[in-house]
Amino acid sequence: MNAVELDQLISRHPVLFHMAENGSWPSIRRHGLLSTSALLELYGYRGTERHELESQRRPESYTLEHKSHGNAVIRDQKPMTDSALRRCLLDGLTPSDWYRTLNARVFFWLTEERLRRLLNAGPYASSKHDVLFIETRKLIEKYRELITLAPINTGNTRPYPQPRGHATFLTIENYPYQEWFKKRRGIDPVVELAVMDKITDVQRFTLSVKEMRGENVIRIIWNRT
C-alpha cells in the first residue's frame, strides 16, 4: 500500500471500531487497550493456566482477577474451531499457533456493518458492550510500525474456513490494497486492522465510547470534548 492508497483507506474509513466488555472503559483508560497476551501479562498469569488461555480455543469468556487491577474479561472464541482451523491453516501452522497470533493483537473493524454483525451475533446480541470509536488517522500515525491489515475476519471460521497463514497479517507497506479493492469491487478491501500487543494511550485516539446492546446505543460513556 502506497501513500495515496493509505490516504484513500483513511478517507473511506475515518473511524475504527472496537467492541469491548461492558464496564471495561475505566480499566482501558487506566491501562490501555490490551491484547489478550498483554492482559495476561498485566494480571500476572503464568504457566499452564496462561498457556491454556493463550494457545487453546476459549469456548467461553474468561474472567481474570487481580487484587489491584480488579476483574477483566477476555472473550470467547466461539466463531472458531480447531477442526476448521486445521482445514484452512497454511504454512504448517497449527490451531495453537493461530490462537497465539490472534491473542497477541488488538483488533478493530473498519466498517460499522462489521461492528453491527458482531454486536448482533447470537452469543453477544443480548449483552451490553462498551464500543470504542477510534480516529483512524491518528492511530496509524502513532502505531504504524505495529499495525497489520487483514482481508478476512481472522477470528472466524464460519460458515466457510477461509485459508489463512503468515501472509494473512501484512504491514501497511506490504498490503496489496488495490488488488483486494479490484477483486471485491471496492467492498472490504481491508476487513481488520490490528495493533500488536497494546495501545497504552488509547484515550488520545478515542472519539467516543458508547454502551450498546445490538445496534442500540444505551448511553454515551465518554466523549472527546
Enter the C-alpha cell of residue 115: 461492528
- Domain regions of the chain by residue span: 3-223
Query: Are residues 146 and 169 in contact, defined by beta-carbon separation less than 8 angstroms?
Result: no
Which residues lie closer than 8 Å to 118 by C-beta, 6 or more apart?
Answer: 19, 109, 124
Give the model's confidence band at 65: pLDDT under 50 very low, under 70 low, under 90 confident, else very high: confident
pLDDT in tens, 147-206: 999 999 999 999 899 999 999 999 999 999 999 999 999 899 999 999 999 999 999 999
Pairing of strands 147-150, 192-196: antiparallel
Cα gap 94→86, rounded to integer Å: 7
Confidence of residue 42 (pLDDT cuts 50, 70, 90): very high
Which grid coordinates are listed for 224? 472527546
User: Prior bond to 79 cis, omega within 30?
Assistant: no
Q: SS3 helix, strand, coil % of the chain, rounded to 5?
A: 35, 30, 35
